[in-house]
Structure 1
Amino acid sequence: MTTAPETTDLQVQLRLAEGWFTVCDLHRLAPGRGVAALLPDGRQVALFRDREDRLYGIDNRDPFTGAPVLARGLTGTADGRPFVASPLLKQRFDLETGGCLDDPSVSVPAYRVRQRAA
């Protein structure tokens, strides 16, 4: 018998300069929706989990408005690339690289994310 990921003790971790930082339990991330988390230095990260259980992390600040809102954006794919569209001006950000799909001169920091047993 296998156990669904939501009932196990899996944690989501981000790679920061100092090492891996535990953000939350995996069951806190609903597929297709974002969650904002506070990092130790005061920045915010937007975390996403897709329907195939892949995890993504990008900065939560929309560079076009300065508002910390990317975690509340709509997710989708364009040319096979996962993205989140800002809820304010609708620019799309690649969840793997942080690059803006609508303006290649703009990007947000992207983080390596993993799930680990608690």
Structure 2
Amino acid sequence: MTVLSEELEQAGWTPVCSYTDLLPERGVCALVGGRQIALFRAFDGTLFAIGNRDPFSGAHVLSRGIMGTRAGEPVVASPMHKQAFSLVTGVCLDDPATAVPTYPVRLTGETVEVGTG
């Protein structure tokens, strides 16, 4: 790890990947602070970061889900049982009592960073 990466992590941001590594409407998983984070890039370039664990199955698979929208809300459908989770709030649109964590995400230059604090 470079000194710059260590400084960013101490400031609450972890560099994860290059922006171009994220394909539009596809998810990837990254280990950030010991947590699996699912990262998504929408066709318009918006970035989203949520927990990768599907709370219904317990499997860490949300990064492999199908990204889309429901009533204008960006969502990912779990590949396990197809529940849709908001990429903005983490709330399950099929069961609002269930949610996954969301994380701040930003683009610094060409590097995608996830907030850890």
TM-score range, shorter chain: 0.7 to 0.9
1:21 Cα deviation from its structure 2 partner: 1.2
| Structure 1: distance between partners of 2:10 and 2:99 | 19
1:18 Cα deviation from its structure 2 partner: 5.7
Q: What are the superposed Cα offsets for residues 75-102 of structure 1, whole Å, 9 maximum, x if unpaired?
A: 1101110000000000000001100000
Gap runs ≥5 in structure 2: 1-8, 112-117
TM-score when scaled to structure 1?
A: 0.82
TM-score when scaled to structure 2?
A: 0.83
Runs of 4+ in structure 1 deviating by more than 2 angstroms, as ranges, are none
| Structure 2: distance between partners of 1:114 and 1:70 | 20
- Partner of residue 19, structure 2: 26
- Partner of residue 90, structure 1: 82
Counterpart code for 1:45: I
| Structure 2: distance between partners of 1:17 and 1:98 | 25
| Structure 2: distance between partners of 1:92 and 1:55 | 17
**Number of aligned residues:** 102
Cα 1:17–1:107 shift into 2, 3 Å: farther
1:29 Cα deviation from its structure 2 partner: 0.2
Gap runs ≥5 in structure 1: 1-15
1:62 Cα deviation from its structure 2 partner: 0.2
Deviates more, 1:57-66 or 1:16-25: 16-25
Counterpart code for 1:34: G
Q: Please report the RMSD computed on the Cα atoms of aligned residues, expressed in angstroms.
A: 1.5
**Which structure features the higher share of helix residues?**
2
